[in-house]
Amino acid sequence: MHAWHVGRILKVPRVLIPFAAGAISAHGLLTAPLAFDFVRTAPQRLDRADWGQVNRHLSEMEAEGRQVLSRAGVAERDMGFRRSAEMRYLGQGHEVEAAVPGGLLGPQSLAPLTAGFEEAYRLLYSRTPMGVAIEALNWRVVVSGPAPRVSATEGPAEGPSAAGIEPDVKKRRRAYFPEAGGHADTPVYDRYALRHGMCIDGPAIIEERESTTIIGPGAIVQVDERLTLVARLL
């Protein structure tokens, strides 16, 4: 279970706390498209590349990916393929990943590969050295299935704004807040009972199954139209 302490960590104008914040990583894992990453190591300078070898590696990885996705029940028409290479300037010790165009590669591929690498390199380092050869070390293919269709609810049913309505206090407990210099009598709220427009002043505790939100003194939380908690300092 995650605990969000609004007040101690709040260093930006607003903090958004969605429903089930403590389980968002697991939700993302379960709803992410099925994907597999394949890699072949074949070090070579791009201006002297053995394109036949590179094409064989790419074809092998794509074929392996098709087999894996097919066994997982993904139709051929729904398969996606993304090719890339880990490249660097000759003599460097760190690689930069850049996109590799589709189809058979050959001497005509040198220009788009160079341009893709230089763009990725410039984004990282804001410059590119002139006249230095580029070498590729690893060739990659990521094969993926379609994104699953997910129907998610926003928690409690949406309704008219409850602005100005005081949320019910679930219970009260003494809680320690460094900002208050000690313990304070603190109201506890049920996250699932909150409605759009409601506001809660700190100190307060908001409980749900996956997360607990702790509102420190000097902070306020408002419930937006998607029932997300929007926290800010007063």
User: At residue 45, what is the residue type?
Assistant: R
Residue 29 in any domain: the answer is: no
- Kindly report which listed range (7-11, 118-122, 184-188) carries the lowest average pLDDT score: 7-11
Into how many domains does the chain fold?
A: 2
For residue range 39-60, list pLDDT tens digits in order: 999 999 999 999 999 999 999 9
Q: Indicate whether 177 and 208 sit together in one domain.
A: yes
Strands 2-6 and 219-223, by their bridges, are unpaired
The per-residue pLDDT of the chain, averaged, comes to 88
pLDDT for the residue 33 = 84
Q: Indicate whether 118 and 186 sit together in one domain.
A: no
Residue at which a domain ends, from 144, 163, 188: 144
Residue at which a domain ends, from 115, 144, 173: 144
CA neighbor of 199 nearest in space, from 184, 226, 219: 219
Q: Indicate whether 62 and 136 sit together in one domain.
A: yes
Is residue 175 classed as helix, strand or coil in its secondary structure? Answer: strand
Is residue 190 classed as helix, strand or coil in its secondary structure? Answer: strand
Within its chain, how far is the Cα of 21 from the centroid?
A: 13
Tell me the whole-structure pTM to 2 decimals.
0.61
Which residues constitute the domain of residue 206?
2-22+155-233
For residue range 104-162, list pLDDT tens digits in order: 999 999 999 999 999 999 999 999 998 899 999 999 999 999 887 766 554 454 556 77
